[in-house]
Amino acid sequence: MSASDNLIPVIVSKVVEVNSIIKRFEFKHINGDALPAFSGGAHIVVEMIDGATKRKNAYSLMSSPFKLGQYAISVRREDDGRGGSKFMHEKVVPGMEMKISAPVNLFALDLRAKKHLMIAGGIGITPFMAQMTQATELGLPFELHYAARSASQAAYMGSLKAQFGDAVACYCADIGDRLNLEALLSDQPLGTHVYVCGPKGMIEAVVQTATNLGWPAAHIHFEHFLSPPMGKAFSVHLAKAGIDIDVGPEQSLLEAIEASGTPVNCLCRAGACGQCETQIVACDGDITHNDHWLEDDQRASKKFIMPCVSRFSGKRLELDL
Amino acid sequence: MTIQFRNETFRNDFTYANSPGNIPRFPFPFPEDEYMYSTNVEPHHATRVGSPFEHGFDVDEHYVAEMKDRALVLADDPGRCQALPHMETAGWDFVELVMVSKARDYPDLFELTMEGDQWHWINKPLQIDDKFTFGDASTLPCHPMEYIGRQVQGDHAILDQRDGNLWLDAGIITAQADWSLDFDVGMNFFEWHAPVPLAHELGVFQRALKFLLSLPQGQPSRRLNWTLTVNPRLDTSPENYPKWGPDKLSVTPDNIGEKIHLRVELQTFWRLPRSNAILFPIRTYLMAMNEVVTQPKWGRRLHRVIRDLRPELVEYKGLSRYHPMLVEWLSKYDDGAPTSPGIFPD
């Protein structure tokens, strides 16, 4: 079972250039039907057919969970990336037919919270846009702290202030405005939950600061917007299928397995959900584990790999697929 | 197809029975001649017209009587329906899922009209005709979970998902096989399964939890679970043990065929869209031994399963007192012939 088995056919209804590096894409169901309901923090997987290459990238839904006529995502262009964001920026135009997965939420609001404290870095703003709409509708207290390199690169900063007023605080590094995590996290009412989405360093800083201040782990929530890291090409043997497959430098192992027609479970495609956990039959070499799922002892055992984000270098890797 | 709803009881005079046409559609839980725990989960796809797997929420001839029995239980013990404060959104998800499914799958019985958040729901078998604002609990007579839970067969637990675990934070539970919502509410997946023998050591719950945490929207799953119950009693709760526990003493070789019922739970799992919770319907089907053995395959197989059941399971399922008597009785229906694979009758 995999979320990408039941893809939803959609039409690109709108493409908006938000700034020089970010574009917003809106999708409608091809039949005009309502799209599936979702909760703030959910993402969809977008299938991109780029000639002979099929890519699948996950993007957070930023549109209102209460308006299901269309979905919206924002994509930051990564010129050094694997090509997914470039494809979205260069090839995707209004009227185009695409396929998306049903929403999956690995970053949901904890509805028991007395207050929701949201911390966004850069394009990490997108899941919070849906969450803030949800929190407003449900009457949940929240605050957003949004940090970016510069105002010109900070997508939606102006409109968020206009829409949510004092609940939004912005920090632009180029004018020396910095978010003081220590001060923010040391003065919150009991029962507050903190959510962070942004670059790796920011997530680590929030988790570390909150932990040092004595926040319960269950009140700290984070989401990495991780795309599969690139690397050198490698080959893998799929034991059950009895075939060898090649993984290209810009391709993930999961994508290569899918391209071979071999069934494999998956959901988030970002090393977080655990669905694609695969057993290793034999490994003569090194695995670069890029996931957030496996335990340290599982990694050390060389018995498990998360093909959506992890890579291999060495003589031979044999998987139980 | 119009369903003839039976006028029957699940208590006192126990007039519950399956009509002959309903027997072959019973979800017999044993695909093989022996039974052991497994994480026997499969997609809850529409399967086999006329079977209980044809629709997401099966409606059968016992619907109206079951809903009457639920009302009696709730009147007596309101604690059978509880929702922690953060579970209201999940209650609305449950309302939507059931209403949309039933109106689509049984258009002659249920009607739903949605104009934005203004909903109009007609439930003909229960003679309900209500208009309400979706998302506004003040427009319903009670909590959304209770409102729809009184109109859908089976018990329903709603599991909140957080911290890499599932939490039993809401439910409407009136037909349970000896577990208590009042005791379990707020527990996590491992806590509420703690009393189950053997399965923890087999890692069944670790695997099941992992599976459920990544259950996708729109792709529900199902499994069957089973036990035996004396008399067709839906409410075999710990709270009411003094009422049903002594029934076990009433079983004799002469009445065993009518007294002992195979109790099957069709458990399904649904990701709820707005709350990100999981809806866990536990739909109970009851069938007297006399009715089971009208299907020769089921008679043969049930004898083999019950005869070879591991002692821990005989104890856990509460069968010790009449187990040898039942094996003896069932042996009359087992001629030793091989059985075909799968659960459906030949």
List helix spans (H) across chain A.
84-91, 126-138, 157-164, 181-185, 200-212, 253-259, 296-301
Nearest Cβ partner for B274 among A5, A39, A101? A39
Nearest Cβ partner for B276 among A5, A105, A267? A105
Residues A98 and A8 both lie in one domain: yes
Residues A10 and A94 both lie in one domain: yes
Crossing angle of helices B323-331/B296-307, nearest 10°?
A: 140
| Number of domains into which chain B is organized | 1
Is residue A110 assigned to a domain?
A: no
Q: Characterize A256-285 residue by residue with b for buried, 16 or more Cβ atoms within 10 angstroms of its Cβ, and e for exposed.
A: bbbbbeeebbbbbbbbbbbbbbbebbebee
Averaged over A112-120, what is the pLDDT?
A: 97
B89 and A37 in contact by Cβ < 8 A?
no
B216 and A111 in contact by Cβ < 8 A?
no
- Which residues, numbered 271 to 290 in chain B, qualify as contacts with chain A under a Cβ-Cβ cut-off of 8 Å? 273-276
Q: Which of A108, A116, A81, A147 is nearest to A272 (CA)?
A: A108
Structure token digits, residue B2: 């119009």
CATH number (domain holding residue A297) = 3.10.20.30
B96 and A37 in contact by Cβ < 8 A?
yes
Residues A96 and A187 both lie in one domain: no
- pLDDT for A1 equals 39
Question: Where is average pLDDT lowest: A246-255, A269-278, A311-320, B45-54?
Answer: A269-278
End-to-end CA distance of chain A: give it in Å, rounded: 14
Query: How far is the alpha carbon of A270 from chain B, nearest alpha carbon, in Å?
Result: 13
Is residue B306 assigned to a domain?
A: yes
- Which residues, numbered 126 to 185 in chain B, qualify as contacts with chain A under a Cβ-Cβ cut-off of 8 Å? 160-163
- pLDDT for A2 equals 47
Residues A290 and A240 both lie in one domain: yes
Residues of chain B with pLDDT under 50: none
What is the number of residues in chain B?
346
Whole domain around residue B185: which residue ranges?
A: 20-93+145-331
A3 and B162 in contact by Cβ < 8 A?
no
Q: Which of B108, B96, B194 is nearest to B145 (CA)?
A: B96
Nearest Cβ partner for B273 among A6, A38, A110? A38
- Relative to beta strand A115-121, strand A192-198 is parallel
Phi, psi for residue A259 in degrees, rounded to 5? -65, -25
B262 bridge partner residues: B228, B287
- pLDDT for B186 equals 97
Whole domain around residue A212: which residue ranges?
A: 115-224
B217 and A36 in contact by Cβ < 8 A?
yes
**Which residues in chain B are closer than 8 Å to A102, comparing Cβ atoms?**
216-219
Query: How far is the alpha carbon of B343 from chain A, nearest alpha carbon, in Å?
Result: 23
What is the number of residues in chain A?
321
Nearest Cβ partner for B216 among A65, A102, A110? A102
**Which residues in chain A are closer than 8 Å to B276, comparing Cβ atoms?**
39, 41-42, 105, 108
Is residue A288 assigned to a domain?
A: yes
If phi > 0 it is left, if psi is from -120 to 50 it is alpha, else beta; for residue A302 that is left
If phi > 0 it is left, if psi is from -120 to 50 it is alpha, else beta; for residue B326 that is alpha
**Which residues in chain A are closer than 8 Å to B86, comparing Cβ atoms?**
110-112
Query: How far is the alpha carbon of B178 from chain A, nearest alpha carbon, in Å?
Result: 29
Q: Which of A37, A41, A58 is nearest to A100 (CA)?
A: A58
CATH number (domain holding residue A28) = 2.40.30.10
Q: Give the domain-ending residue among A78, A105, A132.
A: A105
- pLDDT for B35 equals 86
Q: How far apart are CA A241 and CA A260, in angstroms?
A: 10
CB-based contacts of A31, cutoff 8 Å, min separation 6: none
Is residue A161 assigned to a domain?
A: yes
Is residue A263 assigned to a domain?
A: yes
CB-based contacts of A205, cutoff 8 Å, min separation 6: A181
Residues A54 and A131 both lie in one domain: no
Q: pLDDT by residue (tens digit) across A69-100?
A: 999 999 999 888 888 999 999 999 999 999 99
Is residue B186 assigned to a domain?
A: yes
- Which residues, numbered 206 to 235 in chain B, qualify as contacts with chain A under a Cβ-Cβ cut-off of 8 Å? 210, 213-214, 216-219, 221
Q: Give the domain-ending residue among A105, A130, A165.
A: A105
The number of angstroms, rounded, from the C-alpha of A94 to the middle of its chain's C-alpha atoms is 23
Query: How far is the alpha carbon of B67 from chain A, nearest alpha carbon, in Å?
Result: 29
Residues A248 and A216 both lie in one domain: no
> What percent of chain A is modeled with pLDDT above 70?
98
Instruction: Determine the 3-state secondary structure of A252 from DSSP.
Output: coil
Please pick, among B104, B223, B274, B321, the residue that the annotation labels catalytic.
B223
Torsion of CA A167, A171, A172, A175, to 10 degrees: 120
Structure token digits, residue B36: 């052991």
- pLDDT for B46 equals 83
Residue A226 has pLDDT above 70, yes or no: no
Mutate to test the interface with B, among A39, A68, A194, A221 (most CBs of B within 10 A): A39
**Does any CB of chain B come closer than 8 Å to the CB of residue A186?**
no
- pLDDT for B154 equals 98
Q: pLDDT by residue (tens digit) across B38-73?
A: 667 888 988 888 899 999 999 999 999 999 999 999
State which amino acid sits at residue A126: T
DSSP string, A130-183: HHHHHHHHHT--EEEEEEES-GGGSTTHHHHHHHHGGGEEEEEGGGT----HHH
DSSP string, B198-253: TTTTTTHHHHHHHHHHTPPTT--EEEEEEEEEESS-S-B-GGGHHHHGGGGGG--T
Helical (H) or strand (E) element with B159: strand B155-162
- Which residues, numbered 23 to 62 in chain B, qualify as contacts with chain A under a Cβ-Cβ cut-off of 8 Å? 43
Is residue B46 assigned to a domain?
A: yes
Residue A225 has pLDDT above 80, yes or no: no
Is residue B7 assigned to a domain?
A: no
- pLDDT for B123 equals 98
A104 and B216 in contact by Cβ < 8 A?
yes
Is residue A252 assigned to a domain?
A: yes
- pLDDT for B214 equals 84
Q: pLDDT by residue (tens digit) across A25-78?
A: 999 999 999 999 999 999 999 999 998 888 889 999 999 999 999 999 999 998
Is residue A247 assigned to a domain?
A: yes
CATH number (domain holding residue A165) = 3.40.50.80
- pLDDT for A88 equals 96
Is residue B339 assigned to a domain?
A: no
Residues A129 and A213 both lie in one domain: yes
Residues A168 and A126 both lie in one domain: yes
Query: How far is the alpha carbon of A159 from chain B, nearest alpha carbon, in Å?
Result: 25
**Which residues in chain B are closer than 8 Å to A41, comparing Cβ atoms?**
276
Query: How far is the alpha carbon of A110 from chain B, nearest alpha carbon, in Å?
Result: 7
- pLDDT for B40 equals 75
The answer to whether A192 touches A219, Cβ cutoff 8 Å, is yes
Q: Give the domain-ending residue among A74, A105, A136.
A: A105
Q: How many CB pairs under 8 A join A and B?
A: 65
Phi, psi for residue B165 in degrees, rounded to 5? -145, 170
Q: How far apart are CA A253 and CA A317, in angstroms?
A: 11
- pLDDT for A3 equals 47
State which amino acid sits at residue B85: P
| Number of domains into which chain A is organized | 3
Q: How far apart are CA A74 and CA A125, in angstroms?
A: 9
Instruction: Determine the 3-state secondary structure of B168 from DSSP.
Output: strand
Rounded to two decimals, the ipTM of the complex is 0.81
Give catalytic status of residue B48 as yes or no: no
Is residue B122 assigned to a domain?
A: no
- Search chain B and give the residue with CA nearest A37: B273
CA angle B241, B244, B250 (to 5 degrees): 140
Q: pLDDT by residue (tens digit) across A7-20?
A: 999 999 999 999 99
Cα-based distances in Å from B147 to A40, A313, B139, B247, B266: 26, 58, 11, 32, 22
Confidence of residue A133 (pLDDT cuts 50, 70, 90): very high
DSSP string, B51-75: STTSSSS---TTHHHHHHHHHHHHH
Nearest Cβ partner for A1 among B85, B86, B219? B219
Residues A127 and A214 both lie in one domain: yes
B219 and A274 in contact by Cβ < 8 A?
no
- pLDDT for A230 equals 85
State which amino acid sits at residue B15: T
